Amino acid sequence: MRAALLALCTAALALGIPAGANAGAMMKIGVDDDRLMQRLPAGAPATAAEWQKSGVDQSRLTLVWSIIAPNATSAKRPAGFDARDPESAGYNWTEVDAAVAALKANGIKIELSVTTPAPIWASQVPSRREPTYRPDPEEFADFVHAVAVRYGTRIASYTLINEPNLWQWLTPQWSCSDATESSCRAVSPAIYRELFRAGYKEIKAVSPRIPVWGGSLAPLGTASRGERHSSLGPLYFLRRLGCVKENYARDRTSTDCRSFKPLSFDAIAHHPHSSWLSPRSSNGVADSITIGTIARLTKAVDTIQVRGGLLNGSAVGSEAKRKTLDVQIDEFGIQTSPPDAWSGVSLSRQDDYLQEAAYMMWKNSRVKLFSQYLWRDEPLDKISITAGSWQSGLYFEDGTAKPAARSFLNPFWVDLPRHSRQATVWGQVRPGSQTEVTVQTRTVGLARYSALRTVNTNRYGYFSFKVPVKVKTAFRFYYGTDALVTSSVRTVKPS
């Protein structure tokens, strides 16, 4: 054991990664852009090839129930349709098939997000004609079974129901006995609980080794409570999902918790968008979880698990109650102005924020995946704004690169805490491999850079080391043989 530990420490030092601080050294890089991969399927092969060259390890595909299933707008299930059979007439897998094939051909792992809206006939109350209203767990189980059979081991992981704490994906979020907000109780966690349980069982029956991630929560809810257009904050959603009270004491007496059985998650997925705030900022909203407050997620999930409200499906026996859940950030983006003047930041800020966020998630040993949302901006017009389109791409809609597109290949950050004179120098070369990089420094006010240290990245492309900083100093790194590639410049000053 001592020999193995010594070998590990020696390897870490050779890579410039301090021993004991390399828990994030295997964090995968993902991307999510369904418009490019599914809505524009002819371009999927070229997009996947571009992602592979850019170091993308994994991609999420959103598989929308009402798009795949037949007669989605009808209140009556199609005659003769067998929802459990992926070959049953009426299913339309064309776009998903093309995306899966393109990603697999380029060695990119696939996460399938199987989600609502549902066909109207799959609602427990089809007469409402609302595709998100109380989907029937048995109908969802049949659909998930068909998905699992069709795609089998080509899929690396699943999530079930995208952002179930938002009314756009699952309704009702609240049930109210009268017009006052105080009469409303959260019901979407209980609805999600039964949908997830049904889908999880089907996936494990077909492919027991493929992980199924829970959560996939949006970063915040709405300030109001009501049966229409109101959503739950992710922390509130998680507490009600695990049937614990606000103080995390067990709740087995309220309406949706009297016959409570905990769900098993193989990991917890989350979408910690921080809007125009810097990654380290808190939005000050109770029950929200953004990239700067990701510790709220792990603390809440761990506490709920201790209280018996959640199990780790990747563990066996009593370990399911104790083994902490990995965190999968399968969606994170920073919108830019241009083109979105209302909710975007400048192009340079997007570039900085994404690199800082990547460092922060790498530093967090619980985070195993960090995914960019989107690759290319969605259209920005009156219709798309109403529909909630995003302009968080690394490229504009016409394919023109933003500054963040360049730094995606070599994110770089220098972390100098306040009142400290020791900085952490961190970076990555994508796609990952053992690459020799040279970090340079320049004292601000002087003209020339000089070499600080040459290190080899680990096989995932990461390097990290600590260095003293006494005065305002600029850092950058370069790599390459035929043509040198240079990272962004990071300037820090002791406070």
pLDDT tens-digit profile of 162-204?
Answer: 999 999 999 999 999 999 999 999 999 999 999 999 999 999 9
Give the β-pairing of 28-31 and 58-64: parallel
Rounded Cα distance, 131 and 121, in Å: 9
To which H or E segment does residue 451 belong?
strand 450-456
Question: Which tokens hold the place of 73?
Answer: 């707008």
Angle at 327 between CA 248 and CA 351, to 5 degrees: 120
* Res 388 pLDDT > 80: no
pLDDT tens-digit profile of 449-485?
Answer: 999 999 999 999 999 999 999 999 999 999 998 889 9
What amino acid occupies position 170? L
Please, which pLDDT band fits residue 311 given cuts at 50, 70 and 90? very high
Residue of 28, 38, 21, 15 whose CA lies nearest to 326: 28
pLDDT tens-digit profile of 372-383?
Answer: 999 999 998 765
If phi > 0 it is left, if psi is from -120 to 50 it is alpha, else beta; for residue 235 that is alpha
Other C-beta atoms closer than 10 Å to the C-beta of 131 total: 21
CB 184 within 8 A of CB 132: no
197: Cα separation from own chain's centroid: 21
If phi > 0 it is left, if psi is from -120 to 50 it is alpha, else beta; for residue 88 that is beta
Question: Which tokens hold the place of 461?
Answer: 């492309």
Rounded Cα distance, 346 and 339, in Å: 10
* Res 5 pLDDT > 80: no
To which H or E segment does residue 471 belong?
none
Q: Please count the CA atoms within 13 angstroms of the CA of 479 that sit on its side-chain side.
A: 26
* Percent of the chain at pLDDT exceeding 90: 88
Rounded Cα distance, 263 and 268, in Å: 12
Contacts of 74 (CB under 8 A, 6+ apart): 119, 120, 121
- Residue-range domains of the chain with CATH: 1-22+412-495 (2.60.40.10), 23-411 (3.20.20.80)
Please, which pLDDT band fits residue 92 given cuts at 50, 70 and 90? very high
